[in-house]
Amino acid sequence: MKNEELKYTGRLIQVRIYLGKFLRMFVFQNDWKILPMGAVIAAVVTFVIGANLFQTQEGTEIGVFALVCVCIWNGFFNSIQAVCRERDIIKREHRAGLHMSSYVVSQMIYQLILCAAQTVVTMIICHVTGVHFPAEGIITSWGMLDVAITLLLITYAADMMALMVSCIVRTTTTAMTTMPFLLIFQLVFSGGFFNLSGFADKLKYLTISHWGMDALCSIGRYNEEPMVSVWNMLVNFKDLEYQGMTPLKDILVKVESEGLRDSFLLWSGQNNAKAAYVSEPSVVLMNWAAIAALLIIFAIAAVVALEFIDRDKR
Amino acid sequence: MLDSDSWVSIGQSVLFWLLMSIGLWRVTGKLAFKRRWMVWLPGLRFYALGASVDMPREGAICGGLELLTFILDVITTDNMNEKLLLALSLLALVLLVFIYVYSIRIYMRLTRVFGMRKLWIILFLIAEWLPLLIIGFGKRFQPKNTSFTEDWEAGTAPAKLEGTEEENVRALKNEGLSFEIRDRTVSSFGKKQYLLKDIAIDIPNGSFVLLLGGSGSGKTTLVNAIIGYEKANATVKLNGSDIYRDYGQMKYRIGFVPQKNLMRGTDTVMHTVNDSARLRMPKSLTGSQRKSKTQEVMELLGLSAGSDGLVSKKSGGQLRRISIAMELVTDPELFVLDEPDSGLDGVISREIFTKLRAIADEGKIVIAITHTPDRVIDLFDKVIVLGRDSGRVGRLAFYGSPQEAREFFGKDTMEEIVMSVNRKEEGGEGLADECIERYARLAARAEGGAAS
């Protein structure tokens, strides 16, 4: 008779087994292709928005939004099919003793490696395309490192969200159909570009994009940057006549001739300061913590969803 | 600050939650539910109870609804817009109705599991924590049926066709596989549908058994019920151990090769088999023992050459053998294969079945489903024939040796036997009902003879 109390492979060893499998998958299933793909996306985006990123409030807002989009896109693409494409295999392995928590944890480690690699690629592309990162960081002494950590967190949280979806749905088709909706939700409810109010405004707290944008604007010292849109608007209206005179033009010429333009831009920026973008460690850490909390929730939901895999109909 | 009424209300809620959790803790303990910590958390507690009475789906739904209600309660404030408040209240009401419906279903099952009268459900509806505490702490309340399904009606149990004296002795010694599947049902829109009914068989160790039946006769359902993957109202014992009761341990003693080749194409053959061994073999085995067993199995199945190649590059026959190796490497006592020859030509198919015969000769029980039985029938010891009766329920139409099967059905080949039990609209002879009845009579006579 066999011993009833036999112990089998524990969760930790299972994590190692599956991590090995995923790393082999990276090589043989062409998962490495996500790196050049991410590089191309980052290059296109930073080519367009790079010059003004972290230079002016407008440039920072648009640039940060675009960077967050790149990260979410990368994260979603990394894992949206990761689980559902091998759902039947997981089901078989679960029957043979696989712990779902081990499977998800090994996926998390593997995806973290992918996201880290993508973040490095994105940062290199940003550097090459001439993005000026803040010289000093808020948390670390290097601004570029603060930005990189934030991008990594955003990519990873998006990755975990897609992993959760991949654990819930049963086919790759459903997963790919779901992805655009999630992306739109993240973008619309980020609160960065669209004015939200009431219940919709509350929804922004559920998005990775909202916390990510706040963190990046805070690291980029948004509140200390010049605001150019007011000046540009005044320039557009400079020829406006009032009682035969052009008072706006006169003022602009005076400001320009006295070298006060930069002060005016900074003054505009200070008046447009936002509490959410204050460049303080507590603000950045809170944003990071919110993203981390979201990704943990997604990971837990992924485990719970997979625990029901045996209920799949044949 | 909260007023005194609010404190009283909070105190009451905490007290009832505590009482219910204690009751659930005790009840799930009696039902040997492993993750009992769940009973302390809103949402999860219903799942814990549902899962412990074999209703995890209902438990999960009820738990999810409870959690939603909890969230609604938290987000609802008096300052809200009236319309929104009304909408949320209506939603909460609908959720509560659903919670009641699902919790009643779970409590009904609970009373049945503990052999209690249905009237207890009234007490559950009034104060659910009270009956839970009573069941949890009452010594006379013990689970009556470990498979949590309907009581086995006396006298309707299928008689087993008793084999030779040697087989009877073996059965008494608790050797081999013995199963009594009373029924296997599914619910569709609240309607109970029978998939299998009255199947009882004893299979001695070292047997190579063919499972025959037309499409939809319940072959895969039967296999899943035997290995404990989809539990039926049944008792299934493997060498004296109850597969359903000790599934956590027993699943490692069972190998199941599914119809599809479910493995990662991006792994090498060696990694696939070795990882499978690491996942399924006891911790106590050393790395070298595991590797040696992996090598042995790969040798047996002819996979050693090219074991460094990717799975995705292998042929259909090799894939089937890898799939078999993944299960065989743990040395299972019961080995079940769903169409191991699917998509393979005659020569390779024969080769695979010959290997399976060798595995059975080592003292294991091997059960295989195949749609082309005649080219390998000489390798089998026993045949199980399933037929779908007029009520579309899978039943036992025959169990015995291949020769006995030919005599019983009056056919020369296994394919003809399958055709005879297949329904007419499927191109068969539609004799399933007749065969099932005739076999039941034969079995009853054999049992009577054995008893006398």
pLDDT digits (tens, 9 = 90+) for A138-157: 999 999 999 999 999 999 99
Residue B149 pLDDT greater than 50, yes or no: no
Residue type (1 letter), A202 = K
Are B271 and A20 inside 8 Å of each other by CB?
A: yes
Same domain, A99 and A246: no
Least confident of A87-91, B28-32, B380-384: B28-32
Q: What count of other Cβ atoms lies within 10 Å of the Cβ of residue B380?
A: 26
Name every chain B residue with its beta carbon within 8 A of the beta carbon of A93.
279
B153 belongs to a structural domain:
no
Nearest to B279 among A7, A93, A199 (CB): A93
Are B278 and A13 inside 8 Å of each other by CB?
A: yes
Beta bridge partners of B180: B200, B235
Are A17 and B284 inside 8 Å of each other by CB?
A: no
- Residue scoring higher pLDDT (B326 or B249): B326
Average pLDDT over residues B35-46: 85
B358 belongs to a structural domain:
yes
Mean pLDDT, chain B, rounded, equals 85
What A188-192 contacts at long range (C-beta under 8 Å, 24+ apart), as own/partner pairs, is A190/A65, A190/A68, A192/A61, A192/A64, A192/A65, A192/A68
Beta-carbon contacts below 8 Å between A and B: 84
For residue B28, the enclosing domain spans: 4-137
Nearest to B89 by CA among B75, B99, B109, B108: B75
Chain A: nearest CA to B293, how far in angstroms?
16
Same domain, B131 and B47: yes
Same domain, A155 and A297: yes
> What pTM, to 2 d.p., does this model score?
0.73
pLDDT at B151: 35
Give the C-alpha separation, A177 to B71, whole Å.
28
The fraction of chain B above a pLDDT of 90, given in percent, is: 39
pLDDT at B226: 94
Same domain, B255 and B183: yes
Torsion, Cα A292 A293 A298 A302, to 10 degrees, reads 100
Q: Does A314 touch chain B (CB under 8 A)?
A: yes
Q: What ipTM was estimated for this complex? A: 0.80
The pLDDT-based confidence of B452 (bands split at 50, 70, 90) is: low
A6 belongs to a structural domain:
no
Residue type (1 letter), B76 = T
Are A29 and B266 inside 8 Å of each other by CB?
A: yes
- Residue scoring higher pLDDT (B255 or B13): B255
Q: Chain B residues within 8 A (CB-CB) of chain A? A: 56-57, 60, 84, 220, 229, 239-241, 246, 249, 251-253, 256, 258, 260, 262-268, 271, 275-276, 278-284, 310, 312, 327
Name every chain A residue with its beta carbon within 8 A of the beta carbon of B260.
88
pLDDT at B201: 94
B225 belongs to a structural domain:
yes
Please name the residue of chain A whose CA is at the shortest distance from the CA of residue B229: A95
Chain A: nearest CA to B134, how far in angstroms?
31
The pLDDT-based confidence of B272 (bands split at 50, 70, 90) is: very high
Are B279 and A14 inside 8 Å of each other by CB?
A: yes
Residue B150 pLDDT greater than 80, yes or no: no
Same domain, B108 and B181: no
Nearest to A150 by CA among A235, A227, A210: A210
Same domain, B212 and B114: no
The pLDDT-based confidence of B169 (bands split at 50, 70, 90) is: low
Same domain, B312 and B417: yes
Please name the residue of chain A whose CA is at the shortest distance from the CA of residue B56: A308
pLDDT at B167: 58
Nearest to A121 by CA among A160, A154, A148, A143: A148
What are the Cα distances from residue B114, in Å, to A137, B110, B117, B142, B235?
A: 64, 6, 9, 6, 18
Q: Does A89 touch chain B (CB under 8 A)?
A: yes
pLDDT at A5: 62
Q: Which of B35, B44, B266, B280 is the best residue to mutate to test the A interface, defined by the most A CB atoms within 10 Å of its own CB?
A: B266
Please name the residue of chain B whose CA is at the shortest distance from the CA of residue A18: B275
Average pLDDT over residues B201-215: 93
HEC readout, chain B: CCCHHHHHHHHHHHHHHHHHHHHHHHHHHHCCCCCHHHHHCCCHHHHHHHHHCCCHHHHHHHHHHHHHHHHHHHHCCCCCCHHHHHHHHHHHHHHHHHHHHHHHHHHHHHHHHCCCCCCHHHHHHHCCHHHHHHHHHCCCCCCCCCCCCCCCCCCCCCCCCCCCHHHHHHHHCCCCEEEEEEEEEEEECCEEEEEEEEEEEEECCCCEEEEEECCCCCHHHHHHHHCCCCCCEEEEEECCEECCCCHHHHHHHEEEECCCCCCCCCCEHHHHHHHHHHHHCECCCCHHHHHHHHHHHHHHCCCCCCCCCEHHHCCHHHHHHHHHHHHHCCCCCEEEEECCCCCCCHHHHHHHHHHHHHHHHCCCEEEEECCCCCCCHHHCCEEEEEEECCCCCEEEEEEECHHHHHHHHCCCCHHHHHHHHCCHHHCCCCCHHHHHHHHHHHHHHHHHHHHC
Q: How does pLDDT run across A101-141, given as a tens digit for each residue?
A: 999 999 999 999 999 999 999 999 998 888 899 989 999 99
Residue B153 pLDDT greater than 60, yes or no: no
Are A310 and B229 inside 8 Å of each other by CB?
A: yes
Give the C-alpha separation, B437 to B339, whole Å.
28
Q: Does A310 touch chain B (CB under 8 A)?
A: yes
Are A17 and B280 inside 8 Å of each other by CB?
A: no
Name every chain B residue with its beta carbon within 8 A of the beta carbon of A314.
220
Give the C-alpha separation, A122 to A74, whole Å.
10
Same domain, A88 and A220: yes
- The total number of structural domains in chain B stands at 2
Same domain, B288 and B215: yes
pLDDT at B263: 94
Residue B154 pLDDT greater than 50, yes or no: no
**Which residue reads 């200070």 in tokens?**
A270
Same domain, B130 and B191: no
Chain B: nearest CA to A106, how far in angstroms?
14
Same domain, A81 and A151: yes
pLDDT at A301: 95
Least confident of B39-48, B101-110, B160-169: B160-169
Are A89 and B264 inside 8 Å of each other by CB?
A: yes
pLDDT at A216: 95
Q: How does pLDDT run across B387-434, given as a tens digit for each residue?
A: 998 888 999 999 999 999 999 999 999 999 999 999 888 888 989 999
Average pLDDT over residues B198-218: 92
Same domain, B218 and B351: yes
- Residue scoring higher pLDDT (A31 or B286): B286
Least confident of A268-277, B98-107, B161-170, B411-420: B161-170
Nearest to B280 among A4, A86, A97 (CB): A97
Same domain, A284 and A238: no
Residue A297 pLDDT greater than 80, yes or no: yes
Same domain, B223 and B343: yes
Q: Which of A2, A16, A309 is the best residue to mutate to test the B interface, defined by the most B CB atoms within 10 Å of its own CB?
A: A2
Residue B156 pLDDT greater than 50, yes or no: no
Are B240 and A1 inside 8 Å of each other by CB?
A: yes
Q: How many residues does chain A have?
A: 314
Q: How does pLDDT run across A43-90, given as a tens digit for each residue?
A: 988 888 878 889 999 999 999 999 999 999 999 999 999 999 999 999
For residue A245, the enclosing domain spans: 228-271
pLDDT at B171: 54
Give the C-alpha separation, B417 to A29, whole Å.
46
Residue A294 pLDDT greater than 90, yes or no: yes
Same domain, B106 and B210: no
Structure tokens at A309: 């895999």
Chain B: nearest CA to A209, how far in angstroms?
23
Are B229 and A95 inside 8 Å of each other by CB?
A: yes
pLDDT at B37: 86
Mean pLDDT, chain A, rounded, equals 90
Name every chain B residue with its beta carbon within 8 A of the beta carbon of A203.
none
Are A96 and B84 inside 8 Å of each other by CB?
A: no
Same domain, A65 and A183: yes
Same domain, B66 and B199: no
The pLDDT-based confidence of A184 (bands split at 50, 70, 90) is: very high
CB B394 within 8 A of CB B198: no
Average pLDDT over residues B86-112: 85
Chain B: nearest CA to A17, how far in angstroms?
7
**Which residue reads 């191109």 in tokens?**
B427
Same domain, B103 and B41: yes
Structure tokens at A86: 């091998």
Q: How many residues does chain B have?
A: 452
The fraction of chain A above a pLDDT of 90, given in percent, is: 67
Structure tokens at B324: 């078999």
Are A24 and B260 inside 8 Å of each other by CB?
A: no
- The total number of structural domains in chain A stands at 2
What B191-198 contacts at long range (C-beta under 8 Å, 24+ apart), as own/partner pairs, is B194/B391, B194/B393, B195/B221, B195/B393, B195/B394, B196/B221, B196/B222, B196/B225, B196/B232, B196/B393, B196/B394, B196/B395, B197/B393, B197/B394, B197/B395, B198/B156, B198/B157, B198/B158, B198/B395, B198/B396, B198/B440
Give the C-alpha separation, A88 to B374, whole Å.
30
Say how many CA atoms lie within 13 Å of B352 toward its Cβ.
30
Name every chain B residue with its beta carbon within 8 A of the beta carbon of A24.
266-268, 271
CB B208 within 8 A of CB B416: no
Residue B155 pLDDT greater than 50, yes or no: no
CATH (domain of B432)? 3.40.50.300
Of the segments A154-163, A229-238, B227-236, which one has the largest average pLDDT value?
A: A154-163
The fraction of chain A above a pLDDT of 70, given in percent, is: 98
pLDDT at B174: 60
Residue B172 pLDDT greater than 60, yes or no: no
Name every chain A residue with its beta carbon within 8 A of the beta carbon of B275.
17, 20-21
Q: Does A242 touch chain B (CB under 8 A)?
A: no
Q: Does A25 touch chain B (CB under 8 A)?
A: yes
Same domain, A173 and A240: no
Are B278 and A97 inside 8 Å of each other by CB?
A: no
Chain A: nearest CA to B375, how far in angstroms?
28
Name every chain B residue with its beta carbon within 8 A of the beta carbon of A312.
none
B158 belongs to a structural domain:
no
Give the C-alpha separation, B65 to B92, whole Å.
9
B197 belongs to a structural domain:
yes
The pLDDT-based confidence of B144 (bands split at 50, 70, 90) is: low
Chain A: nearest CA to B57, how far in angstroms?
8
B155 belongs to a structural domain:
no
Q: How does pLDDT run across B213-264, given as a tens digit for each residue?
A: 988 889 999 999 999 988 899 999 999 899 998 888 888 899 999 988 999 9
User: How deeply is A177 buried, as exposed, middle or buried, from its count of CB atoms within 10 A (0-12, 13-18, 19+)?
Assistant: exposed
Chain A: nearest CA to B8, how far in angstroms?
32
Nearest to B222 by CA among B341, B386, B80, B99: B386
- Residue scoring higher pLDDT (B16 or B164): B16
CB B209 within 8 A of CB B366: yes
Structure tokens at B240: 């004296």
Same domain, A116 and A254: no
